[in-house]
Structure 1
Amino acid sequence: MWDTHSGSPLMMRLILILLGVDYLRSHWRGLRRFGWVTLIAGTVIFIDAMDGVLYFPIEPFAFLLLIEGGATLLVAHSGMGGQRILRYVKGATFSLAAVLILAGNHDGNIVLAMIFGTLFLLDGALQIASAIVVRYRRWRPALAGGIVEIALAIFFYQPWPSNYTGTVPYCLGLGLAFAGWNMFILANRVKVAAANPGLKGEEYMEEADTHQPAVVEWDGPPDDDEKALTVHVWTPVGSAPGETISRPVISRYIAAVDKNGVISTGHAALESPGGIYISLYPAVEIDRSPDAFARLLRATPENNVPGEFQSDYITESSKWCHSTRKVRIRNYSETRLAAFWENYRQNESYNLTHRNCSSSVARALEAALEGSVGRLWQKRGFWLSIGKLISTPELWVALQLRKRAETMAWTPGLVLDYARAMSMLADPRPTGWFNTLGRALRKMFHRRLAWVKGKHGEGVTGEEDAG
């Protein structure tokens, strides 16, 4: 359950979903070779750092880290919701780490060790706590993964064996080693897989679509009259029955509480142009008082209740209210979504943390987007496809959101940000960083121009009044 680096199993699973088994299967040998090379390189770098005498050229790596962090900070404001927050966190962390590396003194190495150790400690503690409280499927391996992260935190906190000099090579070596190992596993899985193992069990998919979209990049989201998959989200605050107490992060991603103590968790649904509508709701309203809510957090069978799927968006919204947010995606497979829905609808049980409206939408979304990036880029070459996918900032954002959801629970807030990130991957913009940076700079320029014009207008008015 290694998940703090880009080489985590979750990253491999996400790449598997987006590129698709059919596309990856024909390149499994290259994946396996690349996995071996990365694994060996990571192991060598880690061992090299053990004695504190570094042969690995750390300064060029620091410059790359600084460029990545700076670019992330420049484009961070263009994200929405959790995307923006995660971009700022990533950019600030990368930039600070790069500056400390380039500073080249012992104090900088100590600070880096404390930062990495704290990140591992917090992530591991959160993972352990959520595993114990929620008891989701595979909570025991997740609990073990959290313990491993805390052990790594202790490893970074104490000075042995390199007296903090090897902090960055340790992280880089571990990241590359786990990335290589998981790429090796991925290659072996796609070699023999009949269907995408990233979408297993309830998420079984039929054979892949063979068509390739005529367009491979778009300038923006779909127009209102354009055929597209739609993710509907009723945010906890937007769907609360009364005025809510201000708790920004909790209300955004978990639940909103009104002044009467009533808890609102929001809702999520998915709608396709082909007539599929996936909206799971408990058949009988769940007791949402604080005491009962805490008991229902466990994703165990005794908390399963009868559920029901809503018929369509018009009917559901007319009985309640219109969704407060929508995410629309062009590049999806109606065939794969229909295959998923045919199987998923057979079970109408509802569980607040394991099988709720949001987890249903997340699974359906992944089924619909399975192989979407592979279809787009299959004629551009395999390694270009991998590079394009990995260089898109939203892949890292989607990874963090998916990891939090899998170790805790899918919520409407997480689904909203996850759908936004996945839409940027399935419906890519002309480039990754450079185009995003260009849009950010243009936006800053227009804001500056509007401010200057507004200031100039105020000055003219003042002169006319004076005259």
Structure 2
Amino acid sequence: MVRLMMILLGVDYLRARWRGVLLAGASSALTGAALFIDALDGVLYFHIAPFAWLLLIEGLATLAVAWTGMGGQRTLRYVKGLAFCVSAALVLSGYRHGSFILSMVFATLFLADGLLQIASAWVVRYRTWKFAVAGGVLEIVIAVFLYQPYPTHYKGTVPYCLGLVLFFAGWNLLLLALRARRLGVNPAAAQGGLAALAASAAVATGVTGVTGVTGASSVSSGIGAKLTQTVFDGPPEDHEAALTVHVWTPVGSSKSEARRQPVIDRYIAAVDRNGVISTGHAALEAPGSVYISLYPAVEIDRSRDDFSRLLRATQENDVPGLFQPDYATESKAWCPSTRQVRIRNYDPQRLARFWQHYRADTTYNLTHRNCSSTVSHALEAALEGATPRVWGGGWLAFVRMLATPELWVAAQLRKRGQTMAWTPGLTLDYARALSMLADPRPSGWTRAWRMMRTRVGRWFRPRRTREL
């Protein structure tokens, strides 16, 4: 989540507030370490109830806006909201076996996530797969620690988990703050292959973080121009200039009728009645003749026998690729995109620099450098610094971003894309989540109030008519 926050806040915002980030990180890390150590002897000096109430409020807030999501985004919201509410209820109720239930649930989640991360890293073998395996092993160790009752007989489950979350979040913020003092390149963007791009841009412009927004000029001091509108009722209209993410879903792009396989055909691939595998496609379009769509120059044989070998992100699976000229040409040769996500608040200058650098290499790899990873990296480059542009350069931008449920959703999707492989399904949900952060919608509470007021008005209107 920290890397995603770095992208959304931008280099200039972080560099201007590194002391505040440092203080927040130190406070979080110290609190987490103290909470974890305090739970080791089974006698708690820290009161867990306030944290449980915060967890309950966060869960209720997430559930209140869950219905506004789309696709997997809505599912993740409901899962997060229910998990937070149930966990808080077990803590606050004082139920005798509540700690045991939470320990089993948390341990199982850590175990499942660790095994999934290790398995995907072993199969895909991307550049940093060994670090992913180490992270998976650490998650399994934490799961074993939570499964066994020593030394607190499950009473310390909640303090353990809360302490770990606070400690690692604080540690990441500390690293971020120490680097932000002289930060010239966003490390989160550089992870997507933009290090040389950002460095060249810094040399060319003489300043870091020159931003621009559709319909708004940039501010040379860094933060970027604040948009005149901070809350939007919905996605951009057709006449509005906006960035568009096009996604061809595996089922929608299958040549023949696809066999329905829930989750698999949504995020991985669809198999038609002839046994041919379709992985779908993703592209990004923006005003100004920017169209990013990477495709293999020669169609890859995706039969069942060769598909497992092609999943490895190694050099032997690199093939020549090509970039499609524009959406009209690609959709005419194939078919129109199945889903579209449009975003107003993006930086066309950063996107153009990314595209100028990225298109110099036409290498295609099914899992490491494919259409979806290309679109995801381009989207991150375009949205760098989006949060201060819409909410201003103060701490309100930081707080509002943390309070937005889509931040958690986008962080989980980004983790899956980075540790496994970016697919059109993941890119679609990732773009939807980022669109809610870049172009904020009214909160769930606001929408609920509007809906209730509308329904009450409709209920009273016929009554007033009868009285007249």
Aligned counterpart, 1:411: 423
| Residue 373 of structure 1: aligned partner | 387
Q: Whole-Å Cα distance in 2 between the matches of residues 259 and 446 of structure 1? A: 48
Matched, 1:240 2:240: no
Report the secondary structure of 1:57's partner residue. coil
Matched residue SS, 2:116: helix
Aligned residue identity for 1:144: A
Q: Take 1:429 and 1:96, find their aligned partners in 2: how far apart are those partners?
A: 27
Aligned-partner residue type, residue 243 of structure 1: E
Shift of 1:310: 0.2
Q: Using the alignment, how far apart are the partners of 2:135 and 2:452 within structure 1?
A: 42
Shift of 1:445: 8.6
**In 2, Cα distance between equivalents of 1:102 and 1:254:** 40
Q: Distance in 1 between matches of 2:344 and 2:293?
A: 20
Counterpart in 2 of 1:90? 80
Aligned to 2:414: 402
Matched, 1:135 2:125: yes
Pairs within 5 Å for 1:54-453: 54-200=44-190, 202-203=193-194, 204-205=197-198, 206=201, 207-208=208-209, 209=211, 210=219, 211-212=224-225, 213-379=227-393, 381-382=394-395, 384-430=396-442, 435-440=443-448
Q: What SS does structure 1 have at the residue aligned with 2:104?
A: helix
Partners of 1:444 and 1:234 lie apart in 2 by: 37
Q: Matched residue pairs, number?
A: 435
CA distance in 2, matches of 1:195, 1:85: 35
C-alpha distance in 1 between matches for 2:54 and 2:127: 38
Structure 2 length-normalised TM: 0.90
Q: CA deviation at 1:377?
A: 2.7
Contact 1:23 1:378 in 2 (8 A): no
What residue identity is the alignment partner of 1:281? Y
Q: Secondary structure at the match of 2:184?
A: coil
The amino acid that maps onto 1:397 is V
Q: Residue in 2 aligned with 1:5?
A: none
Tell me, in whole angstroms, the C-alpha distance in 1 between the residues paired with 2:276 and 2:441.
41
Once residues 20 and 100 of structure 1 are traced to their aligned partners in structure 2, the CA distance between those partners, rounded to angstroms, is 39
Q: Mind listing any 5+ residue stretches in structure 1 that lack a counterpart? A: 1-10, 453-467
Task: Quote the Cα distance in structure 2 between the aligned partners of 1:283 and 1:137.
Answer: 23
Match of 2:31 in 1: 41
Aligned partners of 2:312 and 2:367 also within 8 Å: yes
* Further displaced range: 398-407 or 208-217: 208-217
Distance in 2 separating the partners of 1:124 and 1:364: 29
State the distance in 2 between where 1:89 and 1:146 align.
22
Mean Cα displacement is larger for which, 53-62 or 232-241? 53-62
8 Å CA contact 1:106, 1:165 repeated in 2: no
Cα shift at 1:71: 2.7
Structure 2 unaligned spans of 5+: 202-207, 212-218, 460-468
CA deviations 1:179-228 (Å, max 9, x no partner) are 11110000112212212111116323333212412323222210011000
Q: What amino acid does structure 2 have at the position aligned with 1:424?
A: M
String of CA shifts for 1:237-275, please: whole Å, max 9, x gaps. 111101111112101100111111011111000001111
Verify the 8 A CA contact 1:332 1:369 in the aligned structure 2.
Answer: yes
Are 1:17 and 2:7 matched, yes or no? yes
Contact conserved, 1:189 with 1:197, CA < 8 A, in 2? Answer: no
Shift of 1:374: 2.0
Using the TM superposition, give the Cα deviation of residue 442 of structure 1 relative to its aligned residue in structure 2, in angstroms: 5.1
What is the CA-CA distance between 1:448 and the residue it aligns to? Answer: 11
- What is the TM-score with the length of structure 1 in the denominator? 0.90
Whether the 8 Å contact between 2:410 and 2:430 is mirrored in structure 1 is yes
Aligned with 1:56: secondary structure? coil
Classify the secondary structure of the residue corresponding to 1:295. Answer: helix
Q: Secondary structure at the match of 2:263?
A: helix
Q: What is the CA deviation profile of residues 282-307 of structure 1, one whole-angstrom value per residue up to 9, with x for unaligned ones?
A: 00000010111111000011100000
Deviates more, 1:414-423 or 1:98-107: 98-107
Secondary structure of residue in 2 paired with 1:64: helix
Once the two structures are aligned, what percentage of the paired residues are identical? Answer: 62
8 Å Cα contact 1:265-1:411 kept in structure 2: yes
- CA positional deviation for 1:229: 0.3
Question: Retained in 1: the 8 A contact 2:61–2:444?
Answer: no
> 1:413 Cα shift?
0.5
For the 8 Å contact 2:64–2:444, the answer to whether it is kept is no
Q: 1:28 aligns with which of 18, 43, 65?
A: 18
Counterpart of 2:253 in structure 1: which amino acid?
Answer: S
Q: Name the counterpart of 1:460.
A: none
Instruction: Kindly indicate whether the alpha-carbon contact (under 8 Å) linking 1:76 and 1:84 is maintained by their aligned counterparts in 2.
Output: yes
Task: Give the letter aligned to residue 250 of structure 2.
Answer: P
Q: CA deviation at 1:369?
A: 0.4
Instruction: String of CA shifts for 1:74-93, please: whole Å, max 9, x gaps.
Output: 33222101111101111111
Deviation at 1:64, TM superposition (A): 2.0
SS at match of 2:87: helix
What is the CA RMSD across the aligned residues, in angstroms?
A: 1.8
- What amino acid sits opposite 1:170 in the alignment? Y
Residue in structure 1 matched with residue 216 of structure 2 by the alignment = none
- Residue type of the alignment partner of 2:310: L
The whole-number CA distance in structure 2 between the counterparts of 1:241 and 1:444 is: 45
Structure 1 stretches of 4+ moved >6 Å: 444-450
Shift of 1:117: 0.3
* 1:96 match: secondary structure: helix
After TM superposition, give the deviation of residue 50 of structure 1 in Å: 0.8
Contact 1:65 1:98 in 2 (8 A): yes
